[in-house]
Structure formats: structure tokens, C-alpha cells
Amino acid sequence: METKPNIIHRGKWEGQNFPNAFEAFRLYGGGVEADVMLLSDEKTLGVVHPADFKMRDPDIENMSPEIFAKLKVRAPDQIGGAAPFFREYVAGCYDRGIQVFFEAKGSTPEKAAQTARQIVVTIGDMRAEGAFKVQGKEPSRFIEQMGIHSFSPEAVMAAKKALEETGLTLRLGFTWLTSAEHVGKNPIAASALRYYHEGDTWENAGLKAAHELGCNYVFFVEPGKMTPELVHEAHEFGLELYVFIRSGDNSEELCKRLTSMWVDKLLF
């Protein structure tokens, strides 16, 4: 499976009304990044961004799988498709050869950690059931290129522990938010402040955090703060560096500047 430098944020490309649409990958290629939350039975995962439904994280977490199945994405002036369950979404990506990254979300660090662990457990269960086999053989590359990340250190640590327990070799990432102030105000990211020490730049602290957490990649959310030196340092740590570009900032000039620095992937 060929990988490309662009990742489609929540499976929604410019001009699309609704997220998590496989048509985006057919048209534009690249991978997909999708938010994942744990439902009220604490077993079932949904691929969902609560704001698409005019909801908050706890609204989704308190929802049963039966109610979740009835959700319809809301966009201006219309109601769209249902939010997919995690299992069917993974199967859809596998069938289409799409590289997939999942962000473990939650209303608290504990919920985010539960979500991260259940992502790994569910993929392990699907593998044991033969979901990734074709003619009796399993192409290992799809699973090995799958990523799990979060801006919650607790979620990253939970995913890492689950990977060790299951023997799966998924990729692990850490998202480093904009600033110390931003992190401090985020209920599931606040503990990331322990990785920021006097004398460090904010971005260098993010690299050290991802490295200490045992990650394969680090996500930054401020394209303007990326430098060739930072990318080089990430690679020296053994990390791939990914950058999130907000829709209003997505210009060809910016993308070329970032790829010329050898940024590994761009998330639109």
C-alpha cells in the first residue's frame, strides 16, 4: 500500500458537506485521520466529531450503540449520512487500501485512555477474526501503517501498553498543542505540561514529549512555527513530523514550504 504525504482531516476535503467520506480518498488520495470515541457500553467505538452533530464529548460517551447508529451528520441547510462505527470504518479503509490514523478522544484523560486502549483491542479482535485476510493471507502493511494518536499523554500511554500486550505493531503518535496556555485549558491535555521545562522552546518540548512517550510520530498544529532545524531534530529523535494545516491556511505555497523542509505528512 503506497503512502502519500497528505492526510485528510476527518475524511473531509474542501467542497464536501460531510466528513468521513471515502469519495475524498478516491479523488485526492492520501490517508485519513478520524476522531474516535468510546460509547456508553465501554466496548463499542464510534468514528465521530461531536461538533458535526451539535453535541459535546460527554453526549457521545453517554450514548448507547443503538442510539449512535441513528445519528445523522448536520451541515448547513441539510442533514447527511450516519456516523460510522469504528469496525465498519476500519473495514472500509482496508477494502480501499487507505492508510488510516485515529485520534483517541474523550471528555477526561481517563476516557481518552479507555478509548485508546479499546482502539487497539478492537483491531486485535478484528485481526483474530480474519477481517484483514485475503485468500487466507494477511497483508501486514495495512495494520503496520495504521496510527493512533492523541493530545492526551494518558491516552498515548494506554495505547502503548495495549500494543505491548497484544503484540500489534501499529504506529503511535502524540499531538502537541499550540501553547502552554492552550494545553492548560484542555481537560485531557493538561498533564502534557510536565514535559515542558525551563530553557526549552515550546516546540522542542513537544519533540521530547513524543520521544519520551515512545511515539513514532509527532503532530504539530502551528505550521508557521515549523523550521528545518525542528524537522531535523525530530528525525534525530527517530520521529516523523506531521503538521496540521487549518482549512483557511491551506495554500500551495505553505505546503511546498513545509515539504521542502522534509515534513513527513500534512494534515488538511
SS3 60: helix
d(CA 162, CA 148): 12
Domains belonging to the chain, first-starting first, are 6-248 (3.20.20.190)
What string of DSSP letters covers 134-189? BTTB--HHHHHT-EEEES-HHHHHHHHHHHHHHT---EEEEEE-S-HHHHHH-TTT
Q: Take residue 128 and report the three cell numbers written for it.
A: 483474530
Amino acid at residue number 33: E
Sequential pLDDT tens for the chain (268 residues): 444 556 655 544 455 454 555 555 555 556 888 899 999 999 999 999 888 788 999 999 999 999 998 887 665 555 556 788 999 989 988 888 888 899 999 999 999 999 999 999 999 999 999 999 888 888 778 888 999 999 999 999 999 999 999 999 999 999 999 898 989 889 899 999 999 998 899 999 999 999 999 999 999 999 999 999 999 999 999 999 999 988 777 788 888 999 999 999 988 7
Q: Is 171 left (phi over 0), alpha (psi -120 to 50) or beta?
A: beta
d(CA 108, CA 200): 27
- Residue 218 is predicted with a pLDDT of 97
Q: Take residue 206 and report the three cell numbers written for it.
A: 513537544
- Residue 1 is predicted with a pLDDT of 43
pTM of the model: 0.89
